[in-house]
Amino acid sequence: MTTLRIEPRSLTGTLRVPSSKSMGHRALVCAALAQGSSQVEGVSVSRDILATCDCLRQLGAVITSREETGGRTAFTVEGTRPHQVGTEMDCGESGSTLRFLIPLAALTGDAFTFQGSGKLGSRPLEPYEVIFRQQGLVFRKGSARDNFPLTVQGPLRPGHFTLPGDVSSQFISGLLFALPLLEGESTLEITGKLESQSYIALTLSALQKYGITIEHENYRRYRIPGNQQYQPREGAVEGDYSQAAFWLTAGMLGRTISLLGMDPDSLQGDKAIIPILQKMGGQVVFEGDRLVSRPGTPIGTTIDAADCPDIIPVLTVAAALSQGHTEIIHAERLRLKECDRLKAMATELNKLGARITEKPDGLSIDGVEELSGGTVDCWNDHRIAMSLAVASILCREPLTLMGAECVSKSYPEFWQDFKTLGGQYEQCNG
């Protein structure tokens, strides 16, 4: 475990944010299903992206990579119709990888064993379990409390599917990737509240780029013609708004930060970080090719997490340091991520003198002017680690962060970038 002692200080400067992890996963999945050679360029390699590549290889895709300038990677993907090459699918800690790959493995009719680490074994899979049971397919979990090792076996058949809309949109994306390859038409209906809809929009956009047609009514009912073929293509992955959110918040709480590589017309739901910070009094604007965040005096507000769960941890930091009161609502799903993110942020920031009350589906926050500093834990969750790093800006005393290495799940260069912006830390252990 890596423990860092961070000196409180404002960050400032210019950075190129990593490429979107969500869009990277989608491009790699689509490329692996397209017969022929695709190029997925400008990718920031993280543990989650590597897990997706490894699993796609077990289904026959041949994936090679070369380094581009600026530390990015270009993947060449020779796609194919999924067939069994290996039997083990190691998803690491990546929920996206697990939920996207299960239906793809079930296209083959062969048995696959999924493995994973961290909290992934206890993150929900029931929506798929129900579908596999309905079709009489194998879906064998390690135990009632741990999904792993998970054995699944298709072949999945076309038909009418239903999925709940409020557990994880990743189940919906996963089925949307697989169903176009079945031999007949399928329909998919979403029941209950629909959250993380923007992620389904990202999936539909990736599918369309790779030549797949899906019709939908308001994201709740889908018609998925069968016998479709993914078409290979070349494309680069844009900057990640979920990661930009850390630096934009740091800009509001400290000194000016400029980000390169962000698409103003992005479909990413986490682009909501811009209007939310603006509503809190932040000055976040595009100036030419830069997205600039200038210091402001944050004020409390209501933040709806339904469509942008991943930026809530860092917005909790902004709210904890705002004037007045903030309510974070519709955030129940944050408890199902790499850790219980509502509990983690309330527990760790309260250790530093924040005034946060946990509610079943959100957080109630009374702002304070500054935090004390002290020792906090990252809960083995990259977004908690990066959010706490941003909180260090307004600590009176140094902040000791335990488990800082977990950022590599999505952003291995985070600590380097933190330093580039003037952050100061030293490692306290090996």
Ligand X SMILES: O=C(O)C1=C[C@@H](OP(=O)(O)O)[C@@H](O)[C@H](O)C1
Ligand Y SMILES: C=C(OP(=O)(O)O)C(=O)O
> Which residues are part of the catalytic machinery?
310
- β-partners of residue 352 are none
Name the residues that contact ligand X, by CB under 6 A: 22, 25, 96, 168-170, 173, 196, 199, 309-310, 333
Q: Does 333 bind ligand Y (CB under 6 A)?
A: no
> In angstroms, rounded to a whole number, what is the distance separating the alpha carbons of residues 16 and 70?
9
> In angstroms, rounded to a whole number, what is the distance separating the alpha carbons of residues 217 and 223?
9
Asked whether 81 and 109 are in contact (CB, 8 A), the reply is no
Q: Binding segment for ligand Y among 7-15, 54-62, 94-102, 259-267 (CB under 6 A)? A: 94-102
> In angstroms, rounded to a whole number, what is the distance separating the alpha carbons of residues 281 and 271?
17
Q: Does 268 bind ligand Y (CB under 6 A)?
A: no
Find which of ligand Y, ligand X, none residue 333 binds, CB within 5 to 8 Å per kind.
ligand X
Q: Binding segment for ligand Y among 3-11, 88-96, 253-261, 367-375 (CB under 6 A)? A: 88-96
Contact letters for ligand Y, residues 193-232 (x by CB under 6 A): ----------------------------------------
Supply the minimum distance, in Å, between the C-beta of residue 418 and ligand X: 21
Phi, psi for residue 189 in degrees, rounded to 5: -125, 135
Asked whether 423 and 6 are in contact (CB, 8 A), the reply is yes
Identity at 79, one-letter amino acid code = G
Q: Which is nearer to ligand Y, 96 or 326 (CB)?
A: 96
Spell out the residues 6+ positions from residue 116 whose beta carbon is closer than 8 angstroms to its own: 90, 91, 92, 93, 94, 98, 147, 148
Tokens of 241: 């708004």
Candidate residues 8, 42, 95, 174; the one interacting with ligand Y per rule CB under 6 A = 95
> In angstroms, rounded to a whole number, what is the distance separating the alpha carbons of residues 40 and 78?
11
Asked whether 185 and 141 are in contact (CB, 8 A), the reply is no
Contact letters for ligand Y, residues 362-401 (x by CB under 6 A): ---------------------x------------------
Q: How many CB atoms lie within 10 A of CB 208?
A: 12
Q: Binding segment for ligand Y among 31-39, 89-97, 270-278, 347-355 (CB under 6 A)? A: 89-97
Candidate residues 58, 94, 203, 380; the one interacting with ligand Y per rule CB under 6 A = 94
Q: Does 310 bind ligand Y (CB under 6 A)?
A: yes
Q: Does 73 bind ligand Y (CB under 6 A)?
A: no
Supply the minimum distance, in Å, between the C-beta of residue 175 and ligand X: 12
Asked whether 101 and 61 are in contact (CB, 8 A), the reply is no
Residue 198 among known ligand-binding residues: no
Supply the minimum distance, in Å, between the C-beta of residue 289 and ligand X: 25
Tokens of 153: 């076996």
- The CA distances from residue 74 to 42, 70, 80, 262, in Å, are 6, 11, 19, 18
Radius of gyration of the chain from its Cα atoms, rounded to whole angstroms: 21
Q: Which is nearer to ligand Y, 96 or 203 (CB)?
A: 96
Supply the minimum distance, in Å, between the C-beta of residue 127 and ligand Y: 14
Supply the minimum distance, in Å, between the C-beta of residue 372 and ligand X: 30
Asked whether 378 and 402 are in contact (CB, 8 A), the reply is yes
Identity at 399, one-letter amino acid code = L
Tokens of 151: 């054995």
Residue 196 among known ligand-binding residues: yes
Q: Which is nearer to ligand X, 196 or 408 (CB)?
A: 196
Q: Which is nearer to ligand X, 97 or 326 (CB)?
A: 97
> In angstroms, rounded to a whole number, what is the distance separating the alpha carbons of residues 313 and 385?
10
Supply the minimum distance, in Å, between the C-beta of residue 168 and ligand X: 3
- β-partners of residue 180 are none
Contact letters for ligand Y, residues 43-62 (x by CB under 6 A): -----x--------------
Binding residues for ligand Y, rule: CB under 6 A, are: 48, 94-96, 310, 337-338, 383, 410
Per the annotation, binding residues are 21-22, 26, 95, 123, 168-170, 196, 310, 337, 341, 383, 409
